[in-house]
Amino acid sequence: MNQLDALKQYTTVVADTGDFHQMAAFRPQDATTNPSLILKAVQKPDYQPLLAQTVQRFRGRSLDELTDRLLVRFGCEILSIIPGRVSTEVDARLSFDTQATVTRAERLIELYQAEGIHCDRVLIKIAATWEGIAAAARLERRGIRTNLTLLFAFCQAVACGQAGVQLISPFVGRIYDWAKKNAGSTWVEADRAGANDPGVQSVRAIYQYYKQFGIATEVMGASFRNLGQITALAGCDLLTISPDLLAALAASEAPLQRALDPAAAREADRLPVQLDEPGFRLALNEDAMATEKLAEGIRAFCADAARLDRLLAA
């Protein structure tokens, strides 16, 4: 059994790509996209007709509507390949506007429904700011399921659990990147690999906390840099993995064992945490890594959203 098939015994495998032509070979359950992945995909020759068709069909509409229709077109194509759900992201430029995020999310769902896709097969991705989490709480109460992304801090996970969001995506690789850069010459890769990887440790702490206190929010590790990070999180509810790492897993027959166990997590001895808005903002501010990476991630997604706007306008 290769490592990809072994991983699927313990964890729901999700494809982290906008390139749906790559998905069938790996048979993922779900798929995730973001502005950067869609931008990358539409610049490939295989996907340029899809971009042109969307613009031609809805010529004269606003850029934000064209963007949403393009995202939904990609989502529909993905859902024709996978059996589960697709995550589609709200414009990152709305990350600090609760009402605008809710309105945009509702339009995305309406566009999916107009294409015959039930809302149960769509997760709306939203940045895990305080405003984004508040928007997700409102959407969840309306039956729209959400995926809170750009999650780096334990306080973000606590707030998402309190809000009753469907799923969170803690970013393993970006936490690792920050820790490695911050350590500089003192970093020893072998000492911080596998279970000792700072990104892995972050996800494990969130997973254990959720399982101990019966929080139903799903944990989906994301943004991986190497196979060791993935195998160290075998057993996590879901893992979203790029096509190159999916291929590496499929090519490896090294043994893979479950690393995260919900039964063991429920036996942990921790205290519950409750966060209001001031407590959340203070806790996030105290976490230099999370503060920096959240801001950096939003900036990058905003930049790619603007590039996609220019591509649509052209």
Copy the structure tokens of residue 88.
């589609």
Q: Is 211 a catalytic residue?
A: no
- What are the phi and psi torsion angles at 163 (to 5°)? -80, -10
Are 139 and 133 in contact by the 8 Å Cβ rule? The answer is no
**CA count, 13 A, side-chain hemisphere, 177:** 13
Active-site hit among 8, 40, 125, 180: 125
Question: Which residues are designated catalytic?
Answer: 125
